[in-house]
Amino acid sequence: MSFFGLDCARKKERESERRLRANDREYNLSFRYATNAIKTSKYNVFTFLPLNLFEQFQRIANAYFLFLLVLQAIPQISSLSWFTTVVPLLLVLTVTAAKDATDDINRHRSDNQVNNRKVKVLIDRKLRSEKWMEVQVGDIIKLENNQFVTADLLLLSSSGPMNLVYIETAELDGETNLKVKQALPVTGDLGDNIEKLAGFDGEVHCEAPNNRLDRFTGTLTFAGQKYSLDNEKILLRGCTLRNTEWCFGLVLFGGPETKLMQNCGKTTFKRTSVDRLMNVLVLCIFGFLAFMCAILAIGNCFWELNEGSEFTVFLPRQDNNDAAFSAFLTFWSYVIILNTVVPISLYVSVEIIRLGNSYYINWDRKMYYPRSDTPAEARTTTLNEELGQIKYVFSDKTGTLTQNIMIFNRCSINGKSFGEVYDSTGQRLEMNEYTEKVDFSFNPLADPRFAFHDHALVEAVKLENPEVHSFFRLLALCHTVMAEEKKEGELFYQAQSPDEGALVTAARNFGFVFRSRTPDSVSIVEMGKPCTYELLAILDFNNVRKRMSVIVRSPEGKLSLYCKGADTIIYERLHQSCKKLMDVTTEHLNEFAGDGLRTLALAHKDLDEEYFREWKKRHHEASTALDDREEKLEQLYEEIEKDLLLLGATAIEDKLQDGVPQTIELLARADIKIWVLTGDKQETAENIAYSCNLLREEMDEIFIVAANSPDDVRQELRTARTSMKPGSPDDSVFVQGRTLGKGVKVVRDEEVNGEYGLVINGHSLAYALESSMELEFLRTACMCKTVICCRVTPLQKAQVVQLVKKYKQAVTLAIGDGANDVSMIKVAHIGVGISGQEGMQAVLSSDYSFAQFRFLQRLLLVHGRWSYLRMCKFLRYFFYKNFTFTLVHFWYAFFCGFSAQTVYDEWFITLYNLVYTALPVLGMSLFDQDVSDVWSFQHPKLYTPGQVNDYFSKATFFKGAIHSCYSSFMLFFIPYFAMHDTVRDDGKDAADYQSFALITQTCLLFAVSIQLGLEMSYWTAVNTFFVLGSLMMYFAVTFAMYSNGMFLMLPSAFPFIGTARNSLNQPNVWLTVLLTSFLCVLPVITYRFLVMQLYPTINDKVMFKVRQAKAKLPPPSRRTRIRRTSTRRSGYAFSHAQGYGDLITSGRLMRRPAVTRSSGFTGRTTTGFSPMGRSAGYSPTARPQNVKAQDVEATSLQMYRTIEDPAL
């Protein structure tokens, strides 16, 4: 049974602890651990045909047509040839199988690309290059700089000092700032000595495979000693080794058991709500078909009993069958004849339409991003119309809304604000790429990528303003950044957070260059003069302190404390003499926050030598205490960080992607709710939410849920809910889901007055997602305009999306750019991947991908809405034309003795859906649009009908069915009575079966063509050609098949000899065609006229406005700078984590001695100088940022000024 994976499942259940031994494959193979190969494909050469056919015949329609094929093989039942079903069925199965095979081949290629990567593995005391898929648990492998981590590894040794390695975890948690891992000293001593590594036989006992990225527990037993293992010693698959020449690691988990793959979630087959509705309607149609066949079978029974006996003389019954058996056979005969109510061509046409609309997305130049040469891509062809029904958007933050680029934007020093540029009239200028930049040529060590526009700050530095110098000296000293200088003058800053990198790079450009550090010193260059400060203490950052300080001794022997942190925290510790400066700086901070910048306050103080010596002694005692160490240190920090003198404040921009605020505003006007699910800290997420207009000061209230117990979380959620809607019941109010089958409980939408926001952190969210509290959380969150979930794990992201899917009758979309977003992308109805800086994992798991968040508005409001509108029009029309075509048989049965005779020529039945009506409906479904893309942006409310299934629903379907019944009635009885007892011009009888069949099918074709014209809003040359061409094709084929020549070749196949030329030359025939067609569409014209006059829809209003404007495009709006006033300020560099201060002062983080260098300010030029750090675009990974493609113009945002229409 292991072939089906059952044995593997049992093994996983048993594994509560993993045991492995280094360099012992035989021992490790006994546990049958997974290899390092991954598999995302579904089929192989042997399983493709049976599995694919099994999946296809799970579709009700395909199984139904297979059943029809069996019926047609029975001569006593079938009145149609077998090929009328076999050919279309084979076509559908082949096309679908080819599409599935193509998709799976792409998955195989992706798997092979990963599995065949090379890595060096220690085998038989030699390093051998092996494929990833051949790596096994217990192997020791060697990684080199910029190489992907092959599997989940225990770090053994590295080239770095103290066996440190730097890794980038963008594929795992979306963060591009590098992280530090350190090997155990006992394994670090192995170094890169192959003999020692080959002789290493340590045994690891650790946790079983799981998806926790932030936790690892285990022990290493080596040389009789046991060592504790934690997450700081583990390298996870998906990470990238950076700034480390080499490292060795022991494989703990491979392939599907790695934490990356455990977090990928299960791939589910996604179907649109239209698909699900079609399945329900097909069941209803089957029921209706059975009902009609039953009526006709009963009619046959009565006819046989009452009238049939009169015909037995010249039409004897076969085998003396009685009336009941005749009725039984008639039932199945009519099942075959009336099967066209669900034609198999429906599904072929749907796939073609979806494919065409997918190509529109791929070809859209307005969704192409030239800087990275990235077009939009529809990675699936089955979900296009779902894009027009989105109600909830779940977005990642870092890399999705923002570029993860920190820019030193503004600052306030000693009560003066810097960073803005004013014209001669005193008006503030908006800065762009053409605004004059500050010239930093006086500083050879400046980063050329750093951009600043306010010349006053440089002048203040050059004039040696003491406050300005103290300001930048603090930025150059108070941090945990590491500097690397492989070549003289080429500085690379390795920062734990992008914020810190931006601040240190800013100080570097203004003349205070951080060069290097040791555990007890910091070396900087101050305006060309090298200085080394003695580092006496680092008072590190944590989430409670929200500040960090350093205590240094200057070369002159002066003792100083420099502190930076959240302004509210710093203000509490300032000296009384700073009150006036505080008030001025507060105004500047409010202005910075109003622009959505991340602010930081800076302060310092001079220390007394005697006091510091005594404080340092107590600090040493506290840091070595076994009990209450954290509390004792915190008291000492509080003691020394007081009576500070305020220096000023910094303002950093976490640069948003272009067009994010405008996109969010437009989606909000389309009644789409946006939830941000981010792994970042609460303060960071709030700040970005304000920057991109998700949270606004104008909101009635913003609720923050940050409790640490289930009861407190429940209480805070209830308090928020009752504040928004007093008197709301405690229990959730359910409504019955709109799908048949399983009774789906749907939480009813609750209207509130006002706009509210909800912010909830990861701890509280874990409680809120428990089964006893999930509905309380859902009700409260859905009342809010915006929801921000902070510090969430990848699994929690998926759980939030699943919660909304489960209890809300709404379509969800998840958008992200990192591996930490894969789970929610797979769970949501629609998954969108952004191909940004965090790898391609999200894109590979997505349904749609593009390069910028702003393209989401075009994907939804243009492509999504058009696709949904076209699909709904197609289904309404397709069911109408086929119901009308089929129900004529029903009326005819009452006039042919219920004998299962067809009313049309057999060739017409075969070609009706294949030739005569196929292209016109496809033309409408591929080219139709109610309004242009410009007007779609102008009026985002046009999107809302799709959210409530206005264009196609059960009610719409049944209205169309009633119209079809009426049309079929007209199509049968008007020609019947018009031709009854009628003679031709030459006096011959005009009423015979063949003439009546020809007139009826001609009337049908004209009626459905006119109906198609009424459905279309946008006529193109292609549409016109398809409609007129199909009518011409009908007459050409009809005259050819009813000709003498075809009859002479195959008399039995072409019995309608001469019917076309004898009937279609009569004026009364054409009058009958015109009258029938007019009466068929008259109710539609009347109904639409009345609705448009009395109850116009949003589409009617906008289309009327378009006609009034004579289709002139409104001018695109100019992008204006959005400013807001705010009393809210962000705090510290919030992506900073605790613990770097200890690493620095312990010496474990130090590099080997740097190259000998001069100060760099004298006798040097900048020729060939290409520093790797940056601030205006600081990147902790040293990858080029904001590099504009050569000779390529950046695309505009395609945003247009909003014109409010009171009538809308």
DSSP 8-state class, residue 814: E
Contact indicator for 833, 825 with CB cutoff of 8 Å = yes
Q: What is the distance between the alpha carbons of residues 237 and 841, in angstroms, rounded to a whole number?
A: 12
Q: What is the distance between the alpha carbons of residues 481 and 483, in angstroms, rounded to a whole number?
A: 7
Side chain identity at residue 923, one-letter code: G
Q: What is the distance between the alpha carbons of residues 188 and 165, in angstroms, rounded to a whole number?
A: 12
Instruction: Give strand pairing partners of 268.
Output: none
Contact indicator for 405, 1179 with CB cutoff of 8 Å = yes
Contact indicator for 614, 648 with CB cutoff of 8 Å = no
Nearest CA to 1185 out of 648, 501, 533, 600 is that of: 501
Contact indicator for 762, 792 with CB cutoff of 8 Å = yes
Q: What is the distance between the alpha carbons of residues 339 and 246, in angstroms, rounded to a whole number?
A: 69
Q: What is the distance between the alpha carbons of residues 130 and 124, in angstroms, rounded to a whole number?
A: 13
Crossing angle for the helix pair 48-56 and 83-115, to the nearest 10 degrees: 120
Contact indicator for 100, 33 with CB cutoff of 8 Å = no
Nearest CA to 838 out of 824, 821, 823 is that of: 821
Token digits of residue 1157: 């260098």
| C-alpha distances out from residue 1083 to 62, 309, 510, 884, Å | 34, 43, 78, 15
Token digits of residue 461: 């530095």
String of DSSP letters for 515-540: EEEETTEEEEEETTEEEEEEEEEEE-
Provide the 3-class DSSP secondary structure of residue 21: strand
DSSP H/E element including 647:
strand 645-656
Provide the 3-class DSSP secondary structure of residue 935: helix
Active-site residue, 364 included: no
Contact indicator for 967, 1007 with CB cutoff of 8 Å = yes
Question: 47 CB contacts (<8 Å, ≥6 apart)?
Answer: none
Residue 707: HSE in the Cβ half-sphere, 13 Å Cα cutoff? 15
What is the four-CA torsion angle of 949, 954, 957, 959, rounded to 10 degrees? -100
Side chain identity at residue 270, one-letter code: K
Determine how β-strand 529-539 pairs with β-strand 547-553: antiparallel
The whole-angstrom distance between residue 522's C-alpha and the CA centroid of its chain comes to 45
Contacts 24+ apart (CB under 8 A), 53-62: 53/93, 53/97, 55/100, 56/93, 56/96, 56/97, 59/347, 60/279, 60/282, 60/283, 60/286, 61/282, 61/342, 61/344, 61/346, 61/347, 62/89, 62/92, 62/93, 62/347
| C-alpha distances out from residue 1124 to 453, 597, 618, 1067, Å | 22, 12, 47, 74
Residue whose entry in the numeric block shows the structure tokens 């001609």: 1002
Q: What is the distance between the alpha carbons of residues 182 and 192, in angstroms, rounded to a whole number?
A: 15
Q: What is the distance between the alpha carbons of residues 213 and 792, in angstroms, rounded to a whole number?
A: 12
Q: Which of 139, 173, 364, 396 is catalytic?
A: 396
Token digits of residue 321: 């069958």
| C-alpha distances out from residue 960 to 914, 1000, 1014, 1045, 1084, Å | 22, 21, 14, 41, 10
Residue whose entry in the numeric block shows the structure tokens 């029938």: 1076
Determine how β-strand 756-760 pairs with β-strand 701-705: parallel
Q: What is the distance between the alpha carbons of residues 233 and 694, in angstroms, rounded to a whole number?
A: 39
Which residues are the active-site residues? Answer: 396
